Every structure is written in structure tokens, then in C-alpha cells.
Amino acid sequence: MLQCDDVLLEQLVERFGTPLYVYSASAIRDRVRAFEQVGPAVVHVIAFGADGRPRGQGSGVIFTPDGYVLTNAHVVAGTARLRASFTDGQVLDATLVGEDADTDTAVLRLAILSYVDAQVHPPLHGGLLQQLFDA
């Protein structure tokens, strides 16, 4: 777990500038903790056109152990191919399961998400999702 003490806070402020002063050390620790919990379930979605060129990108979150991802419909609309990448460098193909333009939501299914992968990239579960919305 990443620790955020006063020395680290000073180093962050020195490196990135004063905007970090608006956060207390405990607020930064809370954000680091949230990232550690949520980060493994977040994917970077890349949408490709029929010509094979990237035509859009966005983020998504794994919400089931078998690899279903919630993302934005405008990112995946009319694309020929989808890929999802993780912060650890893993990249998986994805297929569009459904989309709703009115709510700008889409559901993807990751290919070959094995049990081992699900342990490395666990889905967000109801309790954690609720904690994020309550924060």
C-alpha cells in the first residue's frame, strides 16, 4: 500500500506545484486508498474503425467477475473493434454487448478474462460502488 506521510506530501507539492496544498495529508491518503481499491477494475477502452485506426477512447469499469465492463456509448458507437487495457499493461479484446445512447452507457465483454485475471483485476462490487457514490 502506498503511504502518504508529510515528507511524501512535501515532495509531491515540490514536484507538482501548489495545487496539492488544497488537500490535507489525510485527504490525499483517502484518494490513494480509493485508487488502490478501484484501480485494478478500471480499463482504458480503445475503439477502432473499420480501417483499423483508433477512432475513440475512454475509460470503463469491470463490474462482474466474468469480465463485463461499463463504459460510455459515445466511445464505442459505430466501431469495428474494441480493446481494453489495464494499468499493468495487459490488453484484451472486447465485444459490445449493448449500448444506450440516451444514457450514454454501454456494456462490453472482455475476451479471455480468466479466473487468475479476475483475481488481479477484481470487479467493483456493490458495497465498494456504494462507498464511491457516498464519498
Confidence of residue 28 (pLDDT cuts 50, 70, 90): confident
Alpha-carbon gap, residue 17 to 24, rounded angstroms: 15
Which pLDDT value is given to residue 26? 78
- pLDDT range class, residue 2, cuts 50, 70, 90: very low
* Confidence at residue 72, expressed as pLDDT on a 0 to 100 scale: 95
pLDDT tens digits along 75-99: 999 999 999 998 888 899 999 999 9
Show me where the domains of the chain are located. 6-38, 40-134
pTM of the model: 0.67
The predicted pLDDT at position 88 comes to 82
CA–CA separation, 74 and 116 (whole Å): 31
Instruction: Indicate whether 39 pLDDT > 50.
Output: yes
Is 40-134 a domain of CATH 2.40.10.10?
Answer: yes
Does an H or E element contain 62, and which? strand 54-62
